[in-house]
Amino acid sequence: MTETRKVETDLGQTVFLSVGYDPDQPDEPREVFYSSGFKSGSMLEFQVQDFCVLFSLLLQHGMEPDDVAKSLARKENHDGTLSFASISGLIVDELSKPPAWA
């Protein structure tokens, strides 16, 4: 089962990711794919595609999204809250969210 999600960056960029779930555990993500959002052929597009491959491998080898998220950089917002400092953090954040059917 796969769910495509719209992700907004803090710079106003919209990115679409597809999260694949384990058929035997439909609330457990097992892979993530970049769908669209960055200029075709751009360095950012390739970086996001590579992040998705790496995160998919981590998931398939038993890592949980929350465990990965703990090690990623964060930045302080104007209101004092923290958010992920990179697109890789946004991807992991999406993997931590349950699917719409959960």
Task: Enter the pTM of the model.
Answer: 0.88
Residue 12 — very low, low, confident or very high, per pLDDT cuts 50/70/90? confident
Averaged pLDDT score across all residues of the chain: 92
* DSSP helix/strand/coil, 72: coil
Contact between 40 and 64 under an 8 Å Cβ cutoff? The reply is no
* Rounded-to-integer distance, Cα 102 and Cα 93, Å: 17
* Cβ-count burial 21-36 (b if 16+ within 10 Å, e if not): beeeeeeebebbbbee
Count of residues in the chain: 102
Where do the domains of the chain lie? Answer: 2-96
pLDDT band at 9 (very low <50, low <70, confident <90, very high): confident
